[in-house]
Each structure stands twice: as structure tokens, then as C-alpha cells.
Amino acid sequence: MSESTIGLIGIAALFILLALRMPVGIVMMLIGGVGVWAINGSKAALATLGSEPFVIASNFELLIIPMFVLMGNLASISGMSRDLYGAAYAWFGHWRGGLACATIAACAGFAALSGSSVASAITMGRVALPEMRRYNYHQRLATGCIAAGGTLGILIPPSTGFVIYAILTEESIGRLFLAGVLPGLLLTFLFMLSIGIQCRIKPELGPPGPKMPMRQRIKATGQAGAMTGIIVVTIGGIYTGFFTAGEAAGVGAFLAFLLAIIRRSVNWTTMSDTLLQTVRTSAFAFLILIGAHVFNPFLALTQIPTTLSETLIGTNFAPLGILMILLVAFIVLGMFLEGFAILVLSLPIVHPLIIQLGYDPIWFGVVMVIVLEMGLISPPVGVNVFVVKSIAEDVPMSEIFIGIMPFWLAMVVCLGLLIAFPQIALFLPNTMIG
């Protein structure tokens, strides 16, 4: 049996096991270990299984994952999410669809602390959904904006998606973080524009709330100032070269801990729950990375990535045509697979091809994360949709999926702008000091 045949059998087995809902990290370790055994023998397989977990576990750069996750969890228990929503509501609440716009703005702010789309959707959903219901917002718009706003968690830095992309491709985490800032703000604006268009067409979707006096707006903004300060310190420190991304994660977590203490949000119960949740989330990410580093040597031995790259380039399609094929494939995969699974499965094949086509790998990292965001709200899997459904149990799934479609189209527009104007993503990393 040829190496390519073994590779195809392994990939088929991998998709079957993922369809059976086995954890992606375990599946990749299993298929990768058995595949290396089949091609190079038991000694090579055991060496791979023995060395790769240690390499990942001892990688100092990966400290960034638990630190930023801890920062997001501390921000949640200290009430920062409510402060964010209160500030956004003070400025946007009197618009038609203003509460939905406030939810998007608050999701963007919380994303800059959590780095997780699921955490952003759950946290902001619990805060925003009751308010939108109180002001008679249509359930379609209310749930749709929460599901879509939550996806900003893996685009606006710090992003666990960017960290995993960086580790798998050996790109700079700091440059990827900076590359996500302007596209994240652009997508936030497009989401809010989408809400405005929907409420212009159907005003009953989002009735306006009461207009707050300027004094209350300033007060609400001031209450969110602590969170804004943490974001400025961490992201600003990376941009100026004062911090590495890992150091910024540690500083951000420490500042969030201090704020939680000042607000008296820390006790034995909340801190133990926060640490346990941080360990669980970090362990999930580490397991995926370990699985990827066992699976990737097997994939390299099969020569499938090289063969696929040569085949695509041999079609004589323009680089833009090949890029479109890849993005459509990712969007389709996103309908059935979890985003991190797509990253770790496809990057060993796609990353060398992207470089060969002349595209900037930092720019492509941003594009790929936006495509993964689309998968988070695409039927039939749509992880964020199921998260919102767990909060809004009385809302039919069909209503939530209809509600996210305008936001999905906004993501398509954002992708088009990034492809047409790559400097939207590359401006900040290219001007980074150090």
C-alpha cells in the first residue's frame, strides 16, 4: 500500500471519527500515531507520540493561552461585561436597533479581554438578551446579534485562533494580534451597519429606547474605563514593542485580577471556579495542538500536502482563483467542523501553498479566522447558535439561523474588503516597533 493511499485512508477515518463527535485532539493523535506506525514502523510512531506532547507542553510561547483565558474569566466575574454593555447602551440605546448595536459594541470590547467566541456569546447573551426583550426587540434580531457579536472573540486580539495559527505556522503571535485589530473594528462597524439597515427596513425589529442625558453617558463610559485601560496597556504594549505577546498576557491577567480584588469579586468560590474554567479551556487548546503535532508528521510522510499544492498550481488558475477555491472549501467545512479542527487539519496543507502563491501569511491568518467566524454561525453546526439557544431556550433554532444571515453577509463583505485592500490587516503589524 502506497504512502498516499495510507494518507487518504487516515484522512477518511479522521473525518468519520469527528462526525461521531470524538474530541478532535484525541482523533488526530490516534490517526497520526497509527499512520506513522503504518508508514515508518512502531519505533517512529512511539517516538512521535512520546516527543510531541513534551514539545508542546514545554513551549513557553503557549503560556499566552492560559493567561489570556484567565484574564477573560476574571473580567467576567468582576462585572466588566455589564460595564461595557452599560457604556454602549448609554450611547446607542436610543437608536432604532440601538440595543443590538450596543450588544455588538460590548461583544467587541469583551472580545479584547476574553479571546473566545463562545465566552463572548455566553457572557454578553446573559447581559443583553433580557434588556432587548424588555424593550420588545424581535427575537430574530436579538439572538442573531448575540451569536454574530460573539464571533468577534476570535478576531479581535487576544485571540486563541491567532495563537494556534501562529504556533502551527511559526508566524509571530504579536504581528497576528495587531493584524486583527483593524479588521475586527471593520467587522464591528459592518455588523452595526447591518442592524441599522434591518431596522430601517423593518422598524419593529428594534424599537428605540430612552435617550440618556450626557451626564449619564459620561458616567457609564467612566465605569468601563478600567477595562479600556487594560486593553490599551496590553495591545498598546505589543504595538510599541514594550511587551511581547506572552508578557502582555501576563500583565493583562494581573491587572484583571487586581480589578476583581478592588471590586471585591474574588472569594474562594469564584476564584476556584475561575481557575478551573481556565484550566479546562487551556487543556482543550493544548490537546488540539498536541494532536496536530502528532498528525502533521504523518501527513508530511504521505506527501499529500505537496501533491495537492502541485496539483492546484498546475491548474494554471490565477492566485486569486485558488484563494477563492480555498475560502469556499473552508466555509463548507465550517458548516460541519469546529473552527480549531479546521485550522489544525488544513494549515499543514494550505500554509505552504499560500506562501507559494505570494500571499502574506499574516494577512491570510486574518482571512482564515474570519472564515472560521462564519462557520461559528453557519448551519447545521453553528457552535455560537447553539450557545445562544442555551440562553434563549424558547426561541426556535430556525429563528436564530434566520437572524444571523445579515451578519453572515456582513462577514462576506468584510472578506471582500480584506482581499481587495490587504493593508487593512497589514498596516499595524508593518508599522510595529521592534
Amino acid letter at 43?
A: K
Specify the DSSP element, H or E, that contains 5: helix 3-19
Residue 364 lies in a domain: yes
Residue 307 lies in a domain: yes
Q: Provide φ and ψ at 155, rounded to 5°.
A: -110, -50
Q: Tell me whether residue 49 is exposed, middle or buried, using C-beta atoms within 10 angstroms of its C-beta: 0 to 12, 13 to 18, 19 or more.
A: middle
> Which residues, other chains included, contact 275 with Cβ-Cβ below 8 Å and sequence gap of 6+?
70
Residue 6 lies in a domain: no
Amino acid letter at 401?
A: F
pLDDT surpasses 90 at 408? yes
For the residues 112-131, what does the mean pLDDT come to? 77
Contact 134, 246 (CB under 8 A): no
For the residues 75-88, what does the mean pLDDT come to? 77
User: Percent of the chain scored above 70 by pLDDT?
Assistant: 97
- Better-predicted residue by pLDDT, 105 or 312: 105
Residue 208 lies in a domain: yes
Specify the DSSP element, H or E, that contains 209: none
Q: How far apart are CA 373 and CA 366, in angstroms?
A: 11
Q: Which domain holds residue 337?
A: 61-292+303-430
Residue 423 confidence (pLDDT): 95
- Better-predicted residue by pLDDT, 189 or 68: 189
Q: How far apart are CA 107 and CA 87, in angstroms?
A: 12
Q: How confident is the model at residue 381 (pLDDT cuts 50, 70, 90)?
A: low
Q: Provide φ and ψ at 363, rounded to 5°.
A: -60, -45
DSSP, res 207: -
Contact 138, 205 (CB under 8 A): yes
pLDDT surpasses 60 at 434? no
Residue 22 lies in a domain: no
DSSP, res 60: G
* Nearest residue to 289 via CA among 44, 59, 71, 1: 59
pLDDT surpasses 70 at 318? yes
Residue 43 lies in a domain: no
Task: Give per-residue pLDDT as tens, 224-283.
Answer: 777 778 888 888 888 777 888 788 888 888 988 888 888 888 888 888 888 898 888 788
The total number of structural domains that make up the chain: 1
Residue where the block lists cell 504512502: 3
Residue 215 confidence (pLDDT): 83
Residue 42 lies in a domain: no
For the residues 132-143, what does the mean pLDDT come to? 88
Residue 182 confidence (pLDDT): 94
* pTM listed for this prediction: 0.82
Residue 310 lies in a domain: yes
Residue 50 confidence (pLDDT): 83
For the residues 1-12, what does the mean pLDDT come to? 84
pLDDT surpasses 60 at 416? yes
Residue 115 confidence (pLDDT): 67
> Which residues, other chains included, contact 420 with Cβ-Cβ below 8 Å and sequence gap of 6+?
none
